[in-house]
A and B are shown apart, each in its own frame.
Chain A
Amino acid sequence: MRAVAHPIPDHVPETLVGQFNLFTAPGMTPTPMGDPHAAIGMLLSGPPIFFAPGNTRNGEGTWVVVRAEDQRHVLQDGVTFSSNRNIFSSALGEDWPMIPLEIDPPAHGHWRSLLNPLLSPRRVMHLEPIVRQRAVDLIEGIKAKGTSCDVMQDFCFPFAVSIFLQFLGIGWERLHEFVDWANDLLHGTPAERTAAAHTIVAFLDDLRDLRRQEPTDDFMTFVTQAEIEGRPLTDLEVRGMAVLLFIAGLDTVAAAIGFDLYYLAQNIEQQNSLRAEPDRILLAAEEMLRAFPTVTPVRRATRDVEIHSVLIRAGDLIACPSMTANRDPKEFSDPDQIILDREDNRHVAFAYGPHRCLGSHLARREIVIGLEEWLARIPEFHIKSGSTPMTHGGFVFGVENLMLDWSAKEAN
């Protein structure tokens, strides 16, 4: 059940009120064999900015900025366009920011200075063997059980969760418990979401307290020992970081690999060409990040400001869907074509500006390694006949129930 849409604010001209909304528009609700990126891509033939009533979980409407260049302008200016919304904590009736996402410049920069080295391109190179091992273990487990699977539940989701556990220094044996929590938190009913949020916060708080007493060599130990502007972090700050890492890197990575496999299952020629020439996966993964991005950053205006002569009032929300920026014809030639060898590809799947995805270097490796190992170990796969994959929109687009089948090839 969704919250009722708030009334449209008086300063929004009627002509600029759109029909679209990330949750309820055609193609955004759970859709059998859907193509939510094509559905939202329709916005590119409309005005560059419009108002979408009810475009958030709590029913508040947002402006939607459609074009890449305008989104860049909004997202590069974190002072005018604030991301301080405390969405996770306010849903629990509390008030603390997820860090660094809900901190604005200039304070935001101190947090990034602290965290960037942990997820730098070079650090990620060191994580590579363990990421690959997780992928191999999961895929070999699937192969041992048969010639079909629900790739979201059996691979994409547990793969993303297992990397997070590794990062937190938690054993692989707790994988299923965490997958259940994450599922409830991200896909559950409102009651399940709240219960899971409390469970996760309590778990991360306990882990923090444990690592303060018994330091090891992991993320949580690092943040409990770290200093920001010459002082140690508070308990709520450590919680704000840990919760964000939990949320930010699970659904997003799972959905990215999920949409890629959904595409490859329907485009056998492309699938087989990448399997035959795995060196091309690196560029192909970038193109699929462009074509199938999942996240819509949202900001709140801190002062009155105009975009394309439209007045945005201080306090208004502004949504910047990466899906429309990534198919903007001013930015990409043949934006609706998926060209796996595309070189000029400054897509925005990981956003622009100071909040550029902290995990982007890790996410890229997870996606590439996931695809490499899947294509190397699983023969030509199709969508299982009789099954119907479901796609959905929202703040993180996703694929559900993606049943893949490779029995025909296995029999040969």
Chain B
Amino acid sequence: MRVKVDASKCQGHARCWTWAPNLFHLNDEGYLDPGDIDVPENEELNARRAVKGCPERALTLEE
């Protein structure tokens, strides 16, 4: 599973980080940097929640 990140849409709500702090690294200004994220199996549930939690629709799931 991968999470596709559209960093231009990220506005730093940090909802992804709340669900999965180990997957989503916010930079000093609080935004996600560009770059898709590989999801290890044990984080799949949290990754799904993170994607569904992003108000800006900056994240999409690729299974």
Contacts and interface: CB of A to CB of B under 8 A. Distances in A.
Contact of B30 (A121, A344, A345, A346): A121
B55 A116 contact: no
B11 A354 contact: yes
A237 to B, nearest CB: 19
B56 interface: yes
A347 interface: yes
The size bracket of the interface on B is 20 to 34
Interface string A357-381: 0001100000000000000000000
Contact of B52 (A344, A348, A350, A361): A344
B4 interface: no
Nearest to A361: B14
Contacts of A352: 11, 55-56
The size bracket of the interface on A is 20 to 34
Interface in A329-355: 343-348, 350, 352-354
A356 B54 CA distance: 12
A349 B11 CA distance: 14
B2 interface: no
B49 A356 contact: no
B52 A116 contact: no
Contact of B55 (A112, A343, A346, A361): A346
B18 to A, nearest CB: 8
Given A344-B53, A345-B53, A347-B55, A356 B28 contact: no
Nearest to A360: B13
Contacts of B56: 72, 76, 352-353
A120 interface: yes
Contact of B29 (A113, A344, A345): A113
A117 interface: yes
B30 A348 contact: no
Given A117-B28, A120-B30, A121-B30, A346 B49 contact: no
Contact of A350 (B13, B30, B49, B57): B13
Interface in A97-154: 112-113, 116-117, 120-121
A284 to B, nearest CB: 14
B26 A346 contact: no
Contact of B49 (A116, A117, A343, A353): A343
Given A356-B12, A360-B13, A348 B49 contact: no
B11 A116 contact: no
Interface of A: 72, 76, 112-113, 116-117, 120-121, 343-348, 350, 352-354, 356, 360-361
24 contacts: A72-B55, A72-B57, A76-B9, A76-B56, A116-B12, A116-B30, A117-B28, A117-B29, A120-B29, A120-B30, A121-B14, A121-B17, A121-B18, A121-B26, A343-B52, A344-B52, A346-B15, A346-B52, A348-B55, A352-B11, A354-B11, A360-B14, A361-B14, A361-B30
